[in-house]
Amino acid sequence: MTLRTLLLSATASLGLAAQAFAFEPLTIIDQGSFSAGGTVTTEPGSFDHRSPMDTAGQSFHGDHAYAFYQVPEAPRSLPLVLWHGAFQSGKSWETTADGREGFQTLMLRRHFPVYTIDQPRRGRAGNSTAAAEVSPMAFDQLYFDMFRIGQWPEYFDGVQFDGSEETLGEFFRSVTPNTGAFDPEVVSDGVSALVDRIGPSILVTHSQAGGPGWLTAIKNPDVRAVISYEPGSGYVFPESEMPEPMSGAAGTLEPVAIPDADFQKLTQIPIIVYYGDNIPEEPTDLFGLDNWRTRLAMARLWVNAINARGGDATLVHLPEEGIIGNTHFIFSDLNNAQIADLAAEWIEAKGLGGLAQ
Fold for 30-37+67-349, please state it. Answer: Rossmann fold (3.40.50)
Q: Are strands 154-155 and 201-206 parallel, antiparallel or unpaired?
A: unpaired
Closest by Cα among 179, 185, 234 to 37: 185
pLDDT for residue 23: 83
Whole-angstrom distance, CA of residue 88 vs CA of residue 90: 7
Quickly state the pLDDT bin for 244 (edges 50, 70, 90): very high
Whole-angstrom distance, CA of residue 150 vs CA of residue 141: 10
Q: Are strands 80-83 and 39-42 parallel, antiparallel or unpaired?
A: unpaired
Quickly state the pLDDT bin for 15 (edges 50, 70, 90): very low
- Which of 135-139, 221-225, 303-307 is predicted least confidently? 135-139
- Please, what is the average pLDDT of the chain? 94
- Which of 12-21, 132-141, 312-321, 340-349 is predicted least confidently? 12-21
pLDDT for residue 21: 72
- Which of 10-24, 41-55, 115-129 is predicted least confidently? 10-24
Closest by Cα among 84, 67, 77 to 113: 77
Closest by Cα among 86, 118, 92 to 104: 92
Q: Is the pLDDT of residue 81 over 70?
A: yes
Closest by Cα among 171, 167, 260 to 218: 260
- Model's pTM, two decimal places? 0.93
Query: Residues 96-118: what's their mean pLDDT?
Result: 98
Quickly state the pLDDT bin for 239 (edges 50, 70, 90): very high
**pLDDT, tens only, 147-180:** 999 999 999 999 999 999 999 999 999 999 999 9
pLDDT for residue 10: 38
**pLDDT, tens only, 272-292:** 999 999 999 999 999 999 999
Query: Residues 191-211: what's their mean pLDDT?
Result: 98
Percent of the chain with pLDDT over 70: 94
Whole-angstrom distance, CA of residue 118 vs CA of residue 226: 18
pLDDT for residue 20: 59
Quickly state the pLDDT bin for 14 (edges 50, 70, 90): very low
Q: Is the pLDDT of residue 339 over 50?
A: yes
Query: Residues 118-144: what's their mean pLDDT?
Result: 95
Quickly state the pLDDT bin for 16 (edges 50, 70, 90): very low
- The tally of CA atoms less than 13 A away on the side-chain side of residue 255 is 22
Q: Is the pLDDT of residue 128 over 50?
A: yes
Quick one: which H or E segment has residue 103? helix 103-109
Q: Is the pLDDT of residue 312 over 90?
A: yes
